[in-house]
Structure 1
């Protein structure tokens, strides 16, 4: 069993498109999951859940999913804003580590960052690099002969409870100065990674497609 979590319904629907024999699974506390098999790997069972936006909801439902299914791995997938000019819309970032960028100490003269970070599970990173190297993972995205070929990057991701849509805001400035190796920003993976870490021997990874450039053009490029 592998658990896949998303934040948004549109992301959930994108994953559902790759599942067959889907059935509803209801947690005793009311959380719904879709459980099915991968279309291209019918022996691989997937439990899919949607957390909603934000680190707190992601942490809570990650913990709930791990306790409910005892999965071999948990993935958080979806979209993110790009923080680098060289990232194209549709490129994929596999988070080698996830920063919780809101931690710090506020003084009269400055805000002093106190980062927390969680690395990707080593085994999942190794698998992801081999999948990328085979250059076939994107074939289901388009009809045969017309498959898109997004680039894949293995880089740091920053996560916090703010929708970033500016290159000039205080949040953007803090990311640039204090989390300079992060190439993408989103709102859930810090909670997800923390819950995975506390759960112990569960492999976790964040995989995000770039949907906008976090530069004020989000309403256009997100579409």
Structure 2
């Protein structure tokens, strides 16, 4: 079902974008045979995600999802044996989406590329779709702790990978250079998210200021990266 995805690295001059092959997003565990119908599967997962986010796991039926996806329930059950399997696949799809860069070729200095990655993280984390899904995960945590565990495991494993790749090419502050790249990436992501993500989860009226988010990214990169001083 998955294929290698194309990402961008840079040559030693840091001035020329280079296309490279990187692993694809985290594989979704689906019943045998479903991998041959990528387009239909993608449409189904989007429909399922929307249905679960709108009604919650318990209240959503397979009839609801089949109708939203424009397919028969018989076809749906050929692809997934149960609502739980479908929900799990939906979580894996969402949590693994940051594993590779799927936008235009990254250009500029390593610090500028890091800023682009961080903007992507913020854009997704604060999107209505992701906020709805995160609320769903929290709401289902007590009744279905395994779903929350799956989502968090995949998100924390693959979510920082793009930022980690950028960190390996920037010049970090001296006291950060001996720390694992993943630890630094998680600190950077936490810094740019701040408390706004939590506010967004609990308060529909909370509004984000794009200028402040950009400023937060700039300050965070300057705080962590020595070579960003002259950026």
Same fold (TM over 0.5): no
Higher strand proportion (structure 1 or 2): 1
Structure with higher helix content: 2
Bigger radius of gyration: 2
TM-score, length-scaled by structure 2: 0.27
